[in-house]
Amino acid sequence: MVEDAPYGSKYKHMYIRCMSCKTLVTTVPYFNTYAALEKIAKKLGTRLD
């Protein structure tokens, strides 16, 4: 995986690339949304179950 912030983007992304030819396979958001929500819920003293 390669970390990058695309030109004009406010957010970072993680790119999954082929190891041999470096072709882009897919992108993944830099921050895992569910993990961020869990962190917020924990600070609020609640669970997401």
List, edge to edge, every strand of the sheet that includes 13-17: 2-4, 13-17, 24-29
Q: What is the dihedral of CA 26, 48, 36, 15, to 10 degrees?
A: -10
Look at residue 8 in the predicted model and tell me its pLDDT.
84
Residue 34's contacts (CB-CB under 8 Å, 6 or more residues apart) are 48
- Model pTM greater than 0.75? no
Which helix or strand (DSSP H or E) is residue 36 part of? helix 33-44
Q: Could you tell me the sign of the dihedral formed by the alpha carbons of 9, 10, 16, 21, in that order?
A: positive
Q: For 8-30, how does the pLDDT look when each residue is reduced to its tens digit (9 = 90+)?
A: 877 778 888 888 998 989 988 77
